[in-house]
A and B are shown apart, each in its own frame.
Chain A
């Protein structure tokens, strides 16, 4: 930490002072909030939970954290990665003005070893947004108006059986509000010395059962500094607009149509600017059945592209996806879900002198079927068995089973345990890539590269200790096999190629708790611990030592406070501690964010929010590949018509 010991203590006192001013308000989805809804609106409140069946969230046998609409709006966060910092079971680290590494339970990667974060499935309203190029997420291409987010379900642990491809270490499911819940005109503006954003959203009712909304959002962020205190020239902007239409032609049918258009531009100091584009269109139909079951059909088209100016490198993907799910309620408390899907991804790349793909165009097909049965074999106990068969691109079929046991010995206590298998399937970056310098290939993908595998053992508990206190603890033991490593070519050493050469294990603990000290003051605390160990498989070796494949903090902690003064003043603060990274080294750091919101009138709210307040600049990721993260203060305005 920079600064003298005295300055350091002062920062802690300042943080404590902010907490003294903290408070809470009612959770956005409590019975109080439902009081003002009409019967129509009540019928449209979504209570779906992470297991895609009708369990109440508190009964789901998995480590789930839900970021509610209220959490998001009160945090003052304006982009999706900053909102995800609110989940105590995620590791979020910023590497440039637009780029983040986000992971759960380790394996966040090591960009210095060309190992990118690629083990999370991220969905926005059912549309998968991780890039099939390299299994990671281009966070600068995903935008949602924070006021339109209903909730974000963050599941740490393998969700492969139900959620599918790439749900290796976690699933992030972003769910937006139905258009019927976002009616009228909303104008939002935030501005500060570094960041500026503005959004406009209009929702209307076109007919008795037909509602729609349109939105437009612009975002602009200034450049950061390199670790050598030079200008990083990584400033960027993005504009996105879209619509959502919800139609309920009968009491049993619900249709949704959504689409977005995004254009953006990211500066770069050593290469040309990158232009980002996204166009997507999604349709979903849900039908209820007499016996309590339901059928859901979904299809979407997504076109994403990145063009690097100057040398003309391009990465474009067209994705066509179709998905079907049937929920059944066989008897009593049992549930049965089955379904399947098909996804075709058409890649179109133009390489440049330093990176290209061979072949430059390719269509990859992903298909899966799954079934999951939840058997309530005793009062308060349920055994869930699931299986997915997935046919991945490049590879044949993988079987992904899961078994989960949930037991509620008493109403406020849930104990659960699970064992699951997940895989990460190869991508063009693993198989078809060629990185070269002066026409000499340095790194090539390998046609023998196959799936990375995980067997996960998990257990946890969720306790509603008193009327005002609840906590959740999860522990896990992950066994990894066939993880990606850089291998050397015999004799010539280069080109390096990707090999499934590493195996290892990881174990850890995630815990978080909520405490309502008063109905206007709520505290939340969380921490996570992680231990990882990697080694080469017998008779394998690599270019780098085995422990270089991932650089994760062994511990993290968060503390946040929500405070209301009367009906119109909202104070929020959140504090985080992230442990040191070892390889390459990055020191541990503490940071503080906060927001003061003031409802001037029923329609107008102003706010002042800040992030990373404790230091003007700090380092979150290794200095060889990441820039410094700045302090940012924003003044905001929200006007409803």
Chain B
């Protein structure tokens, strides 16, 4: 009996000091976070958007951040067209941030969207009635996370969205 309990105690100590994973995101946010980096292969930015062919593709999170560290962990080591993906948190949105994808969380989207209106930034927001929407808006549909696309706004910023992505959208504003 004694040797067994001693072994049990050692095992417990060893595991407590081991690396532990980040908490599981609520599924709705896990799906939205996954969309953010999965959109990238279907979007073409103008050449000026990247400093170099291997410059990082930045996913910036502004406003209220529902994703936490999980998003950074899951994109680690991934690349889109040769660009490594990085996730950055930004406190204030202003021109010259060098983000390729910008997610603005919460209801206060107007100021941030205006700040990057003339930059080649793919803006993503949640669909909240009364709040300004980005080029892609997340829409809840029958318990699933879907999205609608404002293609006109994207084209105005020089961003081309592939027809595959347009086909998956719930609605497209051309």
List the interface of chain A (C-beta within 8 A of B): 13, 16-17, 19-20, 26-27, 29-32, 34-35, 37, 39-40, 42-48, 54, 56-59, 251-252, 254, 286-288, 290-292, 294, 296, 329-333, 464, 466-468, 470, 516-519, 521
Contacts and interface: CB of A to CB of B under 8 A. Distances in A.
A45 B27 contact: yes
B145 A45 contact: yes
B50 interface: no
Interface string B145-170: 11010000000000000001101111
B34 A58 contact: no
B8 A20 contact: yes
Interface in B1-41: 1, 4-5, 7-8, 11-12, 15-16, 18-31, 33-35, 38
Given A468-B20, A516-B20, A39 B38 contact: yes
Contacts of A254: 142
A32 B27 CA distance: 11
A517 B20 contact: yes
Nearest to B165: A39
A333 to B, nearest CB: 8
Nearest to A56: B26
A518 B127 contact: no
B19 A252 contact: no
B159 to A, nearest CB: 17
B34 A37 contact: yes
B16 to A, nearest CB: 6
Contacts, number: 150
Interface string B87-120: 0000000000000000000010000000000000
B141 A288 contact: yes
B70 interface: yes
A35 B8 contact: no
A252 B141 contact: yes
Given A39-B168, A252-B141, 18 more contacts: A19-B8, A20-B4, A20-B11, A26-B21, A29-B30, A31-B73, A42-B38, A44-B144, A46-B143, A47-B144, A54-B140, A56-B29, A288-B170, A329-B129, A332-B128, A467-B22, A517-B16, A518-B20
B141 to A, nearest CB: 3
Contact of A518 (B5, B15, B129, B148): B15
A20 B129 contact: no
Contacts of B165: 39
Contact of B23 (A42, A290, A330, A468): A468
A332 B26 CA distance: 19
Contacts of A292: 127, 129, 139-141
A331 B31 CA distance: 22
Contacts of A287: 142
Nearest to B138: A292
Given A292-B127, A470-B23, A518-B20, A46 B144 contact: yes
Interface residues of B, number: 54
B53 interface: no
20 contacts: A17-B8, A20-B7, A30-B30, A31-B30, A34-B30, A35-B74, A42-B31, A42-B38, A43-B144, A46-B144, A59-B26, A251-B170, A288-B170, A292-B139, A331-B130, A333-B128, A467-B20, A468-B20, A468-B21, A517-B12
B80 interface: no
A42 B4 contact: no
A467 B23 contact: yes
B25 A30 contact: yes
Contacts of A466: 23
B143 A47 contact: yes
Given A42-B38, A294-B141, A329-B129, A47 B20 contact: no
Contact of A47 (B145, B148, B164): B145
B54 interface: no
Nearest to A332: B128
Contacts of A332: 107, 128-131
A522 to B, nearest CB: 10
Given A47-B27, A58-B26, A517-B20, A331 B38 contact: no
A520 B69 CA distance: 19
A162 to B, nearest CB: 14
Contact of B33 (A31, A58, A291): A31
Contact of B142 (A20, A288, A467): A288
Central interface residue in A17, A58, A287, A292, by most chain B CB within 10 Å: A292
B171 interface: yes
Nearest to A296: B142
Contacts of A37: 34
Contacts of A291: 129
B86 interface: no
Contacts of B135: none
Given A42-B31, A251-B168, A517-B16, A329 B140 contact: yes
